[in-house]
Structure 1
Amino acid sequence: MKPERFPHISREIAQKENLLIESFVGNGSFKDVYKCKKDDNSFVALKIADPSATHPERESREIDSMLKCNVSQIGKLYKFDSYTDISGKNYHYLIEEYFDGGDLRRKLEYQSLTRAEIGQIGLQLSVAVKELKNLNLVHRDIKPENIMFRSADNCNAVLTDFGLVRDLSEDSLTGTWLVHGPGTPLFASPEQLNNDKSMIDWRSDQFSVALTLSYCLLGFHPFQVGSGNPTQAIVNVYERKIMPAENVEKLNEFGFGCLAKMLSPWPVHRIASPDKLVELFTGLIV
Structure 2
Amino acid sequence: MPSRLGRYAVRRRIGSGGFATVWLAYDEQLDSPVAVKVLAENWTEDQAVRQRFLEEGRFLRKVESPYVVTVYDAGELEDGRPYLVMSYADQGTLADRMEILGLTPGQALEVVRQVGTGLQALHVRGVLHRDVKPANVLFRTVEVAGRHEVRAMVADLGLGKALDMSSRLTMIAGTPSFVAPEQAQGEPLDPRADQYSLAALTYLMLSGRSPYAHASLAAAAAPGTPPPLSTPERVFPKAVESVVLRGLAPDREDRWPDVAAYVDALATALGPESEVDRSEPWLPLDPDLTQPGARPSPLPPSRPLSDPVPPPRLRRRMLAAIAGLVALLLGAAAGYAVEKRGDADVTVSDRTGTLSVTVPGDWDGARSTRTWKAPDAGGEFPALSVGTSEDWTDVGSTEQGVFLGILPGDELPEQVPQHPECHIAQEPVDDVIDENATRTVVYTRCPGGITVERVVQLAANRLLWVQVRSADRATANAVLDDVATHGF
> TM-score per shorter chain, which class?
0.7 to 0.9
1:69 to 63, 70, 84: 63
> 2:78 corresponds to which residue?
84
- The 3 A distance-change label for structure 1 pair 154 and 265 is farther
- Is 1:162 the equivalent of 2:145? no
Q: RMSD of aligned C-alpha atoms?
A: 2.6
Shift of 1:71: 1.0
Are the counterparts in 2 of residues 58 and 173 from structure 1 also a CA contact under 8 Å?
no
- Which 5+ residue runs of structure 1 have no aligned equivalent? 1-6, 176-180, 224-229
Matches within 5 A, 1:129-208: 129-151=119-141, 156-170=151-165, 174=170, 181-196=172-187, 198=188, 200-208=189-197
TM-score of the superposition, structure 1-length normalised?
Answer: 0.80
> 2:113 corresponds to which residue?
123
Are the counterparts in 1 of residues 247 and 256 from structure 2 also a CA contact under 8 Å?
yes
Q: Percent same amino acid among aligned pairs?
A: 24
Are the counterparts in 1 of residues 38 and 84 from structure 2 also a CA contact under 8 Å?
yes
Matching residue's letter, 2:107: E
Are the counterparts in 1 of residues 177 and 211 from structure 2 also a CA contact under 8 Å?
no
> 1:4 corresponds to which residue?
none
- The 3 A distance-change label for structure 1 pair 169 and 236 is closer
The SS at the match of 2:244 is: helix
> 1:22 corresponds to which residue?
11
What is the CA–CA distance in structure 2 between the aligned matches of 1:154 and 1:212, rounded to whole Å? 22
> 2:229 corresponds to which residue?
247
Shift of 1:169: 1.8
- The 3 A distance-change label for structure 1 pair 134 and 92 is same
**Residues paired across the two proteins, number:** 257
> 2:202 corresponds to which residue?
213
> 2:264 corresponds to which residue?
279
2:25 to 23, 31, 36: 36
Shift of 1:235: 6.0
TM-score of the superposition, structure 2-length normalised?
Answer: 0.49
- The 3 A distance-change label for structure 1 pair 139 and 233 is same
- The 3 A distance-change label for structure 1 pair 173 and 31 is farther
1:110 to 94, 100, 112: 100
- Is 1:100 the equivalent of 2:85? no
Shift of 1:236: 5.3
The SS at the match of 1:84 is: coil
The SS at the match of 1:95 is: strand
What is the CA–CA distance in structure 1 between the aligned matches of 2:258 and 2:208, rounded to whole Å? 28
- Structure 1 stretch displaced more, 184-193 or 90-99: 184-193
What is the CA–CA distance in structure 2 between the aligned matches of 1:151 and 1:251, rounded to whole Å? 31
Deviations 1:205-259 (A, max 9, x none): 1111111121122222213xxxxxx246976542142223x33787744863211
> 2:382 corresponds to which residue?
none
Shift of 1:201: 1.2
1:266 to 251, 255, 268: 251
What is the CA–CA distance in structure 2 between the aligned matches of 1:240 and 1:231, rounded to whole Å? 8
Matching residue's letter, 1:76: T
> 2:451 corresponds to which residue?
none
> 1:49 corresponds to which residue?
39
**Structure showing greater relative contact order (alpha-carbon pairs closer than 8 Å, 6 or more residues apart):** 1
Are the counterparts in 2 of residues 82 and 91 from structure 1 also a CA contact under 8 Å?
yes
Are the counterparts in 2 of residues 136 and 167 from structure 1 also a CA contact under 8 Å?
yes
More strand by share: 2
Shift of 1:93: 0.6
Deviations 1:4-57 (A, max 9, x none): xxx3xx4342xx31x222221111221111111222431000111114335233
The SS at the match of 1:220 is: coil
- Which 5+ residue runs of structure 2 have no aligned equivalent? 143-147, 276-488
